Amino acid sequence: MTSSDPSEKLSAGLYIVATSIGNLGDMTLRAIDILKRCDVVACEDTRVTGKLLKLLGISARLRRYDDHASEGDRAQLLATMQGSAVALVSDAGMPLISDPGYRLVRDAKDAGIAVTVAPGASAPLAALALSGLPNDRFLFAGFLPSKDKARTDTLTGLETIPATLIFFDTAPRLLKSLAAIAAKMPGREVSVARELTKLHEECRTGSPEELIAHYTAHPPKGEIVLLIGPPPERAPDPDAAEDMLRELLETEKPSQAAAKVAKATGLDRKALYARAMELRAR
């Protein structure tokens, strides 16, 4: 849908465009090109996006599209896309990440309107990269609830997931969130990332108690991404492993039984084989 020729008009359709999350340099060349050449920019807050575009030297027609947008607002934008290029941006970062834009994208696709994406900066992924927490599997769960019970219920529902958990949070609620994590997920490693890509960027990792102590002494400011490391792996139970060996030895060779138990428990296969031979000799 996009062309490298800056004088060429963009094709009609919806362009999902990532903006900066702090540093103006987060903007990609493609994002700037689309914002320069689109007909309309749909945004959460015209003041925020207007300031960004002014810094980039871009003049564009802005149209508000946020949590309070009605079906009528969405229908108007869809009608505009039939013959014009509409860029969808959020206040910061990648659109549709914890914002209402997915409805617009879904309806555009259902209507046969061309949709493309200009990806870029994303606070959850930037925080994950900085945190040092395991990143082979992660779950982004949006904002932690502000109410105590809802916050605890959310953590309860996610506590057994074997992945790093990523949340948005606010500075005034951070200490309560850390206290809830300490109570519900004791022993878990936690990271607090704030002011990402800005001058005072910080990512602090430690136990919930350590972070509570730090942020009690140094009240946080700015936008926050809160990450919780995955639950610790359970240590293998030697007694259970021996029970498995005994059962398998009724039908399997010691080497086969040891291999199966090692795979199931993570215990050393050679040690299990030695134990299997002892059991067989009895």
pLDDT in tens, 128-151: 999 999 999 999 999 999 999 999
pLDDT in tens, 92-114: 999 998 877 889 999 999 999 99
The whole-angstrom separation of Cα 196 and Cα 274 is 53
Copy the structure tokens of residue 15: 């362009």
Q: Between the CA of residue 13 and those of 18, 92, 128, 245, what are the distances in Å? A: 16, 22, 32, 63
Q: What is the mean pLDDT of the chain?
A: 92
Which pLDDT belongs to residue 282?
Answer: 73
pLDDT top residue among 67 and 48: 48
Copy the structure tokens of residue 280: 């067989």
Number of Cβ within a 10 Å radius of residue 178: 24
- First-to-final CA distance of the chain: 74
116 Cβ contact partners less than 8 Å away, ≥ 6 residues apart: 1, 2, 13, 14, 15, 16
Which pLDDT belongs to residue 137?
Answer: 96
Which pLDDT belongs to residue 96?
Answer: 92
Q: Which of 77, 38, 83, 78 is nearest to 61 (CA)?
A: 38
Is it the case that residue 207 has pLDDT exceeding 80? yes
Pairing of strands 13-17, 85-88: parallel
* pTM metric for this prediction: 0.79
pLDDT in tens, 209-221: 999 999 999 999 9
Is it the case that residue 4 has pLDDT exceeding 60? no
